[in-house]
Amino acid sequence: MPVTLALDWSLFKRLAHKTPPLILQNSAPCPFCKTSGGSELICLEDFQCFEDRDGQNRFTHRIVFCEVCGMVSTDPWFTPDGARWLMERAGASYGHCHPEERVEWVQQHFPEARLVLDLGCGDGSFLGAFPESYTLVGIEADSHLVQSGRKKFPHVRLIQNDLESPGSLPQADLVTLFHLLEHLSDPLEFLRTLKQRTGATTRLLIEVPILDRAIETHGPDICGFFSIPHRSHFSRQTLNRMLVEAGWQVEHASDLEGNGFRVLVSQKISEGSSEIDSVEVVAEKQLALTYVQCRQSSIGNVQKIIDALPCEGKFLIWGAGHHTEFLVQQTSLFLGNRQFLIVDNDPLKFGLRLHGIPILEPAMINSEHWHSGEFTVVISSYCWQEAIAQDLDRLGIDPSQVIKCYP
């Protein structure tokens, strides 16, 4: 007997934009030299952040290049309240780390460190990987992560506080900022504040993604290097310039697996600000434009895959994060008479709708559904594409039923 699917397949329905209940974004000057304006690199209007909220959670994703200093940044930028409201459903859409590797790195490169302060610590997983003989303090804005971390790592002191202006800081040998600096509205002022509030021998350990490796690590990805929640899009040069301007100097720098760039920095002995070299600014602009051209080519490659799909039928989208909204904005996947469901492993998104399409947990799709042959699975992720494909393989899904955006 044919299998009857009791699933709520839905057509794509984009709600009309409505005025949000609060100010979401404001115009933002260059985070380094504070110059307003800049040359536009990318602009996506009316970008929706995760689930449907009656058309209110829409914003402009615009990336600009500063012709004065060579910094790449997001403008307009989110207000603090706007960021919290828009990103409260981000959940598992962001963030993963390897705490053991980071702890080993600290022990190798800064063995005298015994007091460690982690800013933007999440649930404290990095600090929790240290031996209990260390004094460990983490500061995190998300109360849920702080509460969860306190249960998992009782030997770690976790503090809930605003990361943009954390106030007084516990003294530490090492202050770590793992993928925090690029999120801050004013990273230069933050680095200056850290110098004022830390001891003369305190080191900073910073990780950020860098534009220099964007093609290598994000080349095919239609979301790409210019991540939605990132205010600053550093290169090696612009990060170093900002550190010097704030009174820090790099002791050690290394590329990491993926697009991570790690620097260990100490306070500068001599005073003096960084200088902006016009030749370096030209080189930074060429770096940015080369990546933008690569990104546009990648969008075209994904569109070719979508062009080969039938204009009608049922399509199950695996992934409810920003990648799916980029598919909405930049491809024709959701046009025509196709019907959709979305599945995602993030509990924060279960039961929501994205452009009228239900978001389900994978367990809601039972074996009969998976093996009915009545729908095609589209994997909506770059970083997690192969992991999702392996999950589908374990479910026994015919590979011909699965569409990868990045073959």
Task: State residue 137's pLDDT score.
Answer: 98
Question: Using an 8 Å Cβ cutoff, are 98 and 85 in contact?
Answer: no
User: Is the pLDDT confidence value at 118 over 70?
Assistant: yes
Asked whether this chain's domains 94-274 and 311-404 adopt the same fold, the reply is yes
Question: Using an 8 Å Cβ cutoff, are 64 and 73 in contact?
Answer: yes
Indicate if the alpha-carbon torsion angle 132, 161, 268, 276 is positive or negative.
Answer: positive
User: Is the pLDDT confidence value at 341 over 60?
Assistant: yes
Mean pLDDT of 187-196: 96
Mean pLDDT of 290-296: 97
* pLDDT band (50, 70, 90) for residue 165: confident
Mean pLDDT of 180-208: 96
Task: State residue 271's pLDDT score.
Answer: 61
pTM higher than the cut 0.85? yes
Mean pLDDT of 299-315: 97
Domain ranges for the chain: 25-92+279-296, 94-274, 311-404
Mean pLDDT of 301-310: 97
Q: What percentage of the chain reaches a pLDDT higher than 90?
A: 87
Among the listed ranges 23-27, 57-61, 94-98, 110-114, which one has the minimum average pLDDT value? 94-98
* pLDDT band (50, 70, 90) for residue 276: confident
89 vs 223, residue with greater confidence = 223
User: Is the pLDDT confidence value at 272 over 80?
Assistant: no
Mean pLDDT of 283-294: 98
77 vs 336, residue with greater confidence = 77
Eight-class DSSP state of 230: -
* pLDDT band (50, 70, 90) for residue 93: very low
- Which residues in 272-386 belong to E strands, given as ranges? 312-318, 337-343, 353-354, 357-360, 375-379
Mean pLDDT of 393-405: 94
Mean pLDDT of 213-227: 94
Task: State residue 96's pLDDT score.
Answer: 57
Mean pLDDT of 308-330: 96
**Cβ atoms within 10 Å, residue 196:** 8
Task: State residue 1's pLDDT score.
Answer: 40
Give the integer Cα–Cα distance in Å for 91 and 113: 32
Q: To which CATH superfamily is domain 94-274 assigned?
A: Vaccinia Virus protein VP39 (3.40.50.150)
Give the integer Cα–Cα distance in Å for 241 and 283: 14
Name the token pair of 74. Answer: 């997001």
Q: CA separation (Å) from 238 to 41, 170, 195, 229, 322?
A: 17, 29, 19, 19, 27
CATH topology of domain 311-404: Rossmann fold (3.40.50)
Q: Across the chain, what does the average pLDDT equal? A: 93
